[in-house]
Amino acid sequence: MAEQKHTAGAFDVRTFIAALIGLFGVILVLAGLFGPDRTADSVTDGSAVNLWVGVGLLLVAGLLQGWAMLRPTVVDEPPASAQGSGSEPGV
């Protein structure tokens, strides 16, 4: 009997990491757009650091999710006899 194969799908670790990076990116973009006045910030010389880092994080999240979709992780299914048909000794 041939082994059945399927992809990890939503359970791929790259999907979780891309979602978290994307969430942080959205938060930083919103903070960059609607945050406090940037002209008073002497450390960054008035540049929109939150906005640019947020955009960068969104790009990285998109690339990571694209990678997960283009090259999915293939999971091998165990044979049907090893999946616990209820006839295991000692159960």
pLDDT digits (tens, 9 = 90+) for 28-63: 999 989 887 666 665 667 678 899 999 999 999 999
Is the pTM above the cut of 0.75?
no
pLDDT at 36: 77
Bridge partner residues of 6 (DSSP): 75
More confident residue, 7 or 49: 49
Distance CA 56, CA 58 (A): 5
According to DSSP, the β-strands at 74-76 and 5-7 are antiparallel
pLDDT at 3: 57
pLDDT digits (tens, 9 = 90+) for 9-20: 667 788 999 999
What is the domain partition of the chain in residue ranges?
A: 10-38+45-72
Is pLDDT at 80 greater than 80 in this prediction? Answer: no
Positive or negative torsion for Cα 41, 47, 53, 55:
positive
Q: What is the mean pLDDT of residues 57-85?
A: 80
